[in-house]
Structure 1
Amino acid sequence: MTRVLVLGIGNVLWADEGFGVRCVERLCERWRFGPEVTVLDGGTQGLYLLPFLEEADILVVFDAVDYGLEPGMLKIVEDAEVPQFMGAKKMSLHQTGFQEVISTATLMGYCPGRLILIGCQPEELEDYGGGLRAPVAAQIDPAICIALEMLAREGVCAEPGPGDTSMLADRAILRSAYEEGRPSEDEACRTGDDRFFPAEG
């Protein structure tokens, strides 16, 4: 039996950085797979994801990747090219590089034989507490369609209906709860600690 890991990575607290996580959430809302497929919110777990890669024959990754394209553009990268493109993302202190996860799995001899990266060009990564920007959010469903089509070619098919959500994050930070419950920028400063801003006038 071909084992598949569908992985969304990123940090939902940093605007478009949460694209991958939001993709697996939507996927589980609308599609279900057989027991050979694991759909996982990998967040920023980094090397803690290695055991999941060890068990997979096919890895599909959703992520926000800075390719230098127009915001919201999708780019699909496969197999040997994936590690190179995972390193294309501009790194900062709040991000964990998935490139090192793949490199380590390869070094240890258990990287999945089939790799598919569905990356979306972010518009904004530096808005702490912000949600997905419109061009990026609009690509969630197209990205899922691409994943479903590519998996179908591998003989792995999904059925309409709610899927297994046991490997997703707590419901409190699912996209609907997170974005609908966010205070406005006037109510909650996301640019720093306002106690230390210089007084006006």
Structure 2
Amino acid sequence: MATPPQILVLGVGNTLYTDEGLGVRAVERLSSAYTFSDNVTIFDGGTLGMKLMDHIVNYDKLIVVDAVLCGDKAGSVYRLVGEDLRKSLGFNNSMHQTDLVDTLIFCELLGNKPDTVVIGMEPNDYETMNINLSSEVACKLDSMCDIVLQEITESGGAFFTK
């Protein structure tokens, strides 16, 4: 019997700047509402960037949950893979965005880059210092979490309502 893939769900962002922290808020919601199979880890990566590399290389599948700028209406949810991952570089003034892509490049150089997908949402406000999400994003967070749960299932993981 094959070993199930090790899956890391990584929420990134700065929770001090309104919607920039939506990835962290999403994994907090997932952790509070669900338990997961042993091959799934839910992790708040905040703005750690390159410091996450030691953690990321231990997984087969990486599901990043983050705010991304694609130019659509606030609250729009995206699934980015391959070259589209570069769209998550939209925050030119945010360390975690550049560091995340660089971290994946370094993981690949080390020979252990996990299969990666970004489940992203278009932010409404990522410049105002506020620990709460904007109403436009907050009302879509459950939908984003549902997409993350579907990605976990399709990747070989399981979840259970608490």
TM-score (normalised: structure 1): 0.74
In the other structure, the counterpart of 2:136 is: 135
Match of 1:6 among 6, 9, 13: 9
What is the match of residue 29 of structure 1? 32
Higher relative contact order (CA 8 A, sep 6+): 2
Instruction: Summarize the alignment of residues 151-190 of structure 1 with structure 2, pairs less than 5 Å apart.
Output: 151-161=152-162
The 1-side partners of 2:88 and 2:107 are apart by 14
TM-score (norm. length: structure 2): 0.90
- Cα deviation per residue 1:21-67 (whole Å; 9 max; x = unaligned)? 00000000111112211110000001010011111101111100111
1:4·1:36 contact (CA, 8 Å) conserved in 2? yes
The equivalent of 2:67 in structure 1 is 64
Q: What is the alpha-carbon distance in structure 2 between the residues aligned to residue 110 and residue 155 of structure 1? A: 19
Deviations 1:133-178 (A, max 9, x none): 11111221111111111221222110111xxxxxxxxxxxxxxxxx
The number of aligned residues is 157
Preserved contact between residue 11 and residue 95 of structure 1 (Cα < 8 Å): no
Task: Tell me the distance in 1 between the aligned counterparts of 2:84 and 2:62.
Answer: 11
8 Å contact from structure 1 (residues 71, 123) kept in 2:
yes
Residue aligning to 1:111: 113
Per the alignment, residue 43 of structure 2 pairs with 40
- Structure with greater strand percent: 2
Task: State the partner residue of 1:170.
Answer: none
Task: Give ranges in structure 1 of 5+ residues lacking alignment.
Answer: 162-201
Q: Which runs of 5+ in 2 are unaligned?
A: none
Residue identity in the other structure for 1:104 = F
Does the 8 A contact of 2:67 with 2:122 survive in 1? yes
- Partner Cα distance (1:155, 1:46) in 2: 26
Q: Is the 8 A contact 2:14 2:46 kept in 1?
A: yes
Matched, 1:100 2:102: yes
Counterpart secondary structure, 1:32: strand
Match of 1:81 in 2: 83
**Greater Cα radius of gyration, structure 1 or 2:** 1
Is 2:69–2:88's contact at 8 Å kept on the other side of the alignment? no
**Aligned partner letter, 1:157:** A
Q: Distance in 2 between matches of 1:82 and 1:35?
A: 30
